[in-house]
């Protein structure tokens, strides 16, 4: 239910604007207080009087309103609600939001929206060709990366006669998305520290030792933890995957840098997930010049890096913070994970066989076992996002248990 919740709806100019009317009714039925803003083009499809009559509130149609007859200005409209919903959002409005333009009331509301603090949902609706245009797709990627939540359009028959993606989801689906955005988040008020990606151990100014980790698994855990309401710090090695919106990222290069950053932060965390593929060894000596090749073989002496996970496991009191480690193995993942669970004093080891198809470094999927003191649970092959969500669910249960 949405009892007492303030939902502010921005309607843009497309045929799907008529669905915004029904959306208002359903939101109200669920107990929400709704206010509406409209672009000039939206008013060509649905009159502001329709929304005004339904919401018993003035409809915001202009940025610069002479006098004080408007109960709320565009800034207050953007900042005084529990959810801000753009439905339908045209390709043009999406472009304006992506590029920070504010030349009408709705784009100005988008600019003033406190994305990250208030859920801002964008429901694009347009002709399929416009949807598939690379400019639209690039704009979608931009707004998603900035923390706006995009509700993907349905596929089907469009008003223009085309068949394909571009339909505004039905009002029921829009209301469900609003409810989901307001659902209680189990990690609210919790701090989660995550390590991800590889480390690089320099040999000389041009060379280093590293591994094939891309950071995808750890970044997906960070995104899931943010969705669950946690304050997330992600200490990561050199990667190309983008930092999820709302995550505090600390970029490091070497294992010793990662060690330093984790040791400075672990004690204030409620849960720690160490998914980084930390180099176990580093060259004993780092040359200050590029090493020249010799005719014969070359010997590199390596020394051990600190084991960050083991150090935190040894230092924590009882089961606080909740501690999760990873075990990437080539064969016998569960056996090794059980050993690691005890040796590194963890609550959970996420174990995988990196040599299995669809699993391990660089893939979008993984095949893992969740190994705890209670047993080993095999998970089916699934996306790293879904596995990230499972790990966050585990953290939520452990933190709620207070074990
Ligand atoms: O012992 P192994 O390296 O297989 O353990 C893997 C787990 O330990 C991972 O969670 C990894 O992030 C962590 N680790 C660490 N510091 C190291 C080596 C591994 O935190 N130097």
- DSSP labels, 136-199: HHHHHHHHHHTTPEE-PPEEEE-TTS-EEEEEPPPHHHHHHHHHHHHS--TTTT-EEEEEESB-
The pLDDT score that the predictor gives to residue 353 is 85
Pairing mode, strands 149-150 and 120-124: parallel
Confidence (pLDDT) at 162: 82
Q: Is residue 256 located within the same domain as residue 353?
A: yes
Q: How many structural domains compose the chain? A: 2
Of 162, 181, 200, the domain-final residue: 181
Neighbours of 198 (CB within 10 A): 24
Look at residue 320 in the predicted model and tell me its pLDDT: 93
Instruction: Tell me if 1 is assigned to some domain.
Output: no
Q: What is the CA radius of gyration of the chain?
A: 25
Both 206 and 146 in a single domain?
A: no
pLDDT at 342: 97
Atom of ligand 1 nearest to the CA of 346: 10
d(CA 260, CA 262) in angstroms, rounded, equals 6
Supply the pLDDT for residue 403: 57
Residue 206 CA, distance from chain mean position: 34
| 67 in the same domain as 169 | yes
Which has the closest alpha carbon to 194: 213, 167, 221? 221
Give backbone dihedrals phi and psi of 82, rounded to 5 degrees, phi first: -90, -30
pLDDT of residue 300: 94
Quote the CA–CA distance of 338 and 308 in Å, as a whole number.
Answer: 18
Residue 310, SS3? helix
Q: Are 288 and 205 in contact (CB under 8 A)?
A: yes
Q: How far is the CA of 381 from the centre of ligand 1 (A)?
A: 23
336 CA closest ligand 1 atom index: 4
The C-alpha atoms of residue 150 and residue 98 are separated, in whole angstroms, by: 12
Which residues of the chain fall below pLDDT 50? 68, 71
Q: Which two tokens stand for residue 27?
A: 């939101």
Residues 199 and 320 in one domain: yes
pLDDT of residue 117: 83
> What's the CA-to-centroid distance between 354 and ligand 1, angstroms?
15
Given this model, what pLDDT does residue 65 score?
63
Residue 186 domain flag: no
Query: What pLDDT, on a 0 to 100 scale, did the predictor assign at position 55?
Result: 98
Query: What CATH number did the domain enclosing 19 receive?
Result: 3.40.50.1950
CA of 85 to the centre of ligand 1 (A): 43
Q: Which residues contact 114 (CB under 8 A, 6 or more apart)?
A: 78, 79
What tokens does 215 get? 């950071």
The CA-based angle 112-114-115, given to 5 degrees, is 115
Confirm whether 160 is a catalytic residue. yes
At residue 99's C-alpha, the angle toward residues 95 and 104, to 5°, is 70
Contact present, 248 and 254 (Cβ < 8 Å): no
Across-strand partners of 44? none
Q: Cβ < 6 Å from ligand 1: which residues?
A: 195, 255, 274-276, 278, 280, 305-309, 325-327, 340
Nearest C-alpha neighbor of 275 from the set 178, 350, 376: 350
CA of 300 to the centre of ligand 1 (A): 22
Closest residue by CA, ligand 1 atom 5: 327
Q: Quick one: 342 and 369 in the same domain?
A: yes
What predicted TM-score, i.e. pTM, was given to this entire model? 0.79
Tell whether 237 and 365 lie within a shared domain. yes
Domain-terminating residue out of 181, 210, 233: 181
CA distance 302 to 281: 6
What tokens were used for 384?
């790293």
Across 245-332, the runs of DSSP E, i.e. the strands, are: 248-251, 271-274, 281-283, 302-304, 322-329
Beta strand 322-329 with 271-274: parallel, antiparallel or unpaired?
A: parallel
Query: Ligand 1 atom closest to Cα of 306?
Result: 21
Which CATH number fits the domain that encloses residue 315? Answer: 3.40.50.10300
Q: Which atom of ligand 1 is nearest to the CA of 312?
A: 20
Domain end (from 181, 209, 237): 181
Q: What is the pLDDT of residue 113?
A: 96
Select from 326, 331, 334 the residue to mutate for testing ligand 1; criterion: most ligand atoms less than 8 Å from CB: 326
pLDDT at 282: 98
Q: Which two tokens stand for residue 259?
A: 């060690």
How distant is the alpha carbon of residue 31 from its chain centre? 29
Q: Are residues 75 and 162 in the same domain?
A: yes
Q: What DSSP state is assigned to residue 267? A: G
User: CB–CB of 52/58 below 8 Å?
Assistant: yes
Residue range(s) defining the domain that contains residue 288: 191-401
The protein residue whose alpha carbon is closest to atom 2 in ligand 1 is 327
Residue 308 within any structural domain of the chain: yes
Contact 350, 327 (CB under 8 A): yes
Give φ, ψ of 86 to 5 degrees: -105, 105
User: Residue 335 contacts by C-beta under 8 Å, 6 or more apart in sequence?
Assistant: none
> What residues does 373 pair with on adjacent strands?
none
């Amino acid at each position: 239910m949405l009892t007492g919740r303030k939902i502010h709806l921005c309607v843009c100019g497309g045929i799907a604007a008529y669905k915004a009317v029904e959306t208002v009714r359903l939101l109200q039925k669920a107990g929400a207080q709704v206010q509406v803003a409209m672009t000039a083009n939206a008013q060509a499809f649905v009159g502001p009087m329709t929304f005004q009559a339904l919401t018993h509130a003035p409809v915001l149609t202009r940025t610069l309103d002479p006098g004080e007859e408007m109960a709320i200005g565009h800034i207050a409209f953007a900042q005084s609600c529990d959810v801000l919903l753009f439905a339908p959002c045209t390709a043009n409005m999406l472009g304006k939001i992506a590029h920070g333009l504010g030349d009408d009331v709705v784009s100005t509301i988008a600019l003033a929206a406190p994305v990250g603090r208030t859920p801002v949902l964008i429901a694009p609706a347009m002709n399929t060709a416009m949807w598939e245009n690379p400019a639209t797709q690039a704009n979608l990627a931009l707004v998603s990366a900035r923390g706006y939540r995009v509700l993907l359009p349905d596929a089907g028959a469009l008003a223009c006669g085309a068949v394909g993606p571009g339909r505004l989801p039905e009002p029921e689906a829009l209301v469900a998305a609003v409810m989901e955005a307001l659902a209680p988040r189990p990690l609210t008020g919790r701090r989660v520290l995550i390590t991800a990606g590889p480390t690089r151990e320099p040999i000389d100014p041009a060379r280093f030792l590293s591994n094939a980790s891309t950071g995808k698994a750890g970044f997906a855990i960070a995104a899931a933890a943010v969705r669950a309401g946690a304050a997330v710090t992600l200490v990561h090695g050199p990667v190309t995957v983008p930092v999820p919106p709302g995550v505090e990222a600390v970029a490091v290069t070497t294992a010793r840098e990662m060690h330093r950053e984790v040791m400075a932060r672990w004690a204030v965390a409620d849960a720690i997930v160490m998914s980084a593929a930390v180099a176990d060894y580093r060259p004993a000596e780092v040359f200050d010049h590029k090493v020249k090749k010799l005719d014969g073989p070359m010997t590199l002496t390596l020394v051990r890096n600190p084991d960050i996970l083991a150090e935190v496991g040894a230092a924590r009191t009882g089961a606080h913070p909740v501690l999760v480690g990873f075990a990437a193995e080539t064969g016998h993942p569960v056996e090794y994970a059980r050993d690691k669970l005890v040796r590194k004093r963890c609550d959970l080891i996420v174990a995988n066989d990196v040599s299995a198809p669809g699993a391990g470094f660089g893939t979008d999927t993984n095949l893992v076992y969740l190994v705890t003191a209670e047993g080993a649970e095999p998970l089916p092959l699934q996306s790293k996002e879904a596995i990230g969500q499972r790990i966050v669910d585990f953290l939520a249960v452990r933190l709620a248990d207070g074990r």
